Homo-oligomer: A and B are copies of this chain.
Amino acid sequence: MTDTGSLDTEPDGPDLQSGTLNPAENEADCFHDECGVFGIFGKQDAAAVVTLGLHALQHRGQEAAGIVSFNGQQFSVERHVGLIGDTFTKRSVMDRLPGDRAIGHTRYSTTGGEGLRNVQPFFAEFAGGGFAIAHNGNITNALTVQRELQQRGSIFASTSDTETILHLIAVSEKSRIVPKFIDAITRLEGAYSLVGLSEKKMIGARDPLGIRPLCIGDLDGAYILASETCALDIIGARFVREVEPGEVVVITGKGIESHFPFEKQPPRLCIFEYVYFARPDSTIDNRNVYDSRKRIGEELAKECPVDADVIIPVPDSGTPAAIGFAQQANLPFELGIIRNHYVGRTFIAPSSAIRHMGVKLKLNPNKSMIEGKRVVLVDDSIVRGTTSQKIVQLVREAGAREVHMRIASPPTMSSCFYGVDTPEKAQLLASRMSVDAMADFIRVDSLGFVSIDGLYRAVREPGRNAECPQFCDACFTGEYPTTLTDQQDQGNVRSLSLLANNG
């Protein structure tokens, strides 16, 4: 993978382009986390603070963002397609979001089509008042619930599972918002970290397994909810604690109140947050992400050593693991592939002559670091393998004597249904091939993956507890920690909206 959430935190996935000039075309060759959420309660100009928080979470979703604020009388909503730094930084936008409490959401896009109608937070007026909600994760029984709600006359304005949650709140027979909210989430399956805003309260919630992260911060007495700690850092807020798996926190002017509506279960945080999704400067569950990645590189160097001249990261997502690998192996770490961070839209290649000349829009090998050398490339994962194939070719053309690939995660063999955009299982290289066959496919002299136990050790566990795994690692193991109702029920459920587009 050529990152989003890694060392640099930036606009796009990989695109090697030996054969294409389209920076988007290879996007599918990595995993994309779908969302980041952020809320603050009790701070003047709350929407400006949310803007900064979302800017720090942009690596979790860069296609669109939205903010809802409340000024004591009315809610205000702004939703825009594009980067936070382009769309929420005009004074006019900020002026339309008054109030001392606000929540926001930045999204990639998974469930639900594109278009502004799917941009969160969502807002609804119930008999009891207004409520806005932002969601990171994926509800695995959303379609089933949606069908039930439609039967009783609910109308859906979007294709997002988040709207389903709003409807469940609306039809709850409880009279106050917190009991309504709890009513609703107890109907849900899957992964969710939620931030909600009513007229008087900000609510945070995490699914019983805590698959997606959510933490609590404090800025001069104003409470914050955020997907990652880097969103606290950007504004100088203090980290308070994680929202616990299965916890509902209710924030008012009087402080935090905590509810545990679910039976206690052993947590299953997504381990891929450490591998790739989270920003390297974030800390989740007391584990620093950069440090975890370096340690994966160290495990990898121990498990799959190689006699080589130079360790080169696939920028930027492979860099921390490459540093760890180089330190462990006592080999020089060099920036042998240079990444061009200026990226734009699809480049036009009018003639096939140009399309076939092997344009390197984004990554350029630095020949002087490669020529005649035995190179170890370190990357965070292999998805379809096409990107790896192109990078290896680049490095070979730059004169490498040998090319070895080391991957800072186990082979990814299964799709994710918890809020990450992954190809179907059949598209995953590791689901189709042995490691040896993969090495042939990407044309390396050797290929090594860190083991699942090595990965667990890197995040300071003694190893994977097969009886009761400490993390969700379904993409590596195929063991899904929740039921997948909509998946099992595909024959019965209309999975696509009747609406093709909604401008």
Q: How far is the CA of A407 from the CA of B123 in the complex (A)?
A: 48
- Interface residue? A25 (CB, 8 A): no
- A residues near B (Cβ < 8 Å) are 7-11, 21, 23, 44-45, 48-49, 51-52, 55-56, 58-59, 62, 71, 74-80, 83-87, 89-91, 93-96, 116, 123-127, 129-130, 147, 150-157, 163, 166-167, 170-172, 199, 219, 230, 233-236, 279-281, 283, 288, 290-291, 315, 319-320, 323, 327, 332-335, 338-351, 353-354, 357-361, 364-369, 497-503
Q: Is the CB of B499 within 8 A of A368?
A: no
Q: Do A499 and B234 contact each other (CB < 8 Å), given the known contacts A335-B280, A341-B9, A357-B219? A: no
Do residues B154 and A342 form an inter-chain contact, with CB atoms below 8 A?
no
The complex places the Cα of A341 from the Cα of B365 at a distance, in Å, of 21
A351 to B95, CA, bound (A): 12
Whether A335 pairs with B85 at a CB distance below 8 angstroms is no
Interface contact B499-A341, CB-CB below 8 Å: no
CB distance from A104 to the nearest CB of B (A): 13
Within the complex, the shortest CB–CB distance from A460 to chain B, in Å, comes to 13
Q: B123 near A58 (CB under 8 angstroms)?
A: no
Whether A77 touches B281, Cβ cut-off 8 Å, given contacts A48-B354, A127-B150, A167-B153, is no
Cβ-defined contact, B344 with A123, below 8 A: no
Once the chains bind, are A91 and B166 in contact (CB under 8 Å)?
Answer: no
The contact sample of 27 A-B pairs, CB cut-off 8 A, is A9-B341, A11-B342, A44-B351, A44-B353, A45-B351, A48-B349, A48-B351, A55-B344, A75-B498, A76-B501, A78-B501, A85-B347, A90-B348, A123-B502, A125-B150, A125-B498, A126-B150, A127-B151, A152-B153, A155-B166, A219-B357, A230-B338, A234-B359, A280-B338, A291-B369, A333-B333, A341-B341
Query: B123 to A290, Cβ gap below 8 A?
Result: no
Q: Which residues does chain B contribute within 8 Å of A171, judged by CB atoms?
A: 152-153
B323–A334 contact, CB under 8 A? yes
CA distance A280 to B351 in the complex (A): 30
Select from chain B the residue with minimum beta-carbon distance to A10: B341
* Closest chain B CB from A220 CB (angstroms): 8
How many angstroms between the C-alpha atoms of A267 and B49 in the bound complex?
53
B96–A503 CB distance below 8 A = yes
Q: How far is the CB of A2 from chain B (nearest CB, A)?
A: 13
The residue from B93, B291, B500 contacting A75, defined by CB atoms under 8 A apart = B500
> How many angstroms from the CA of A500 to the CA of B72 in the assembled complex?
12
A56 CA to B303 CA, complexed, in Å: 38
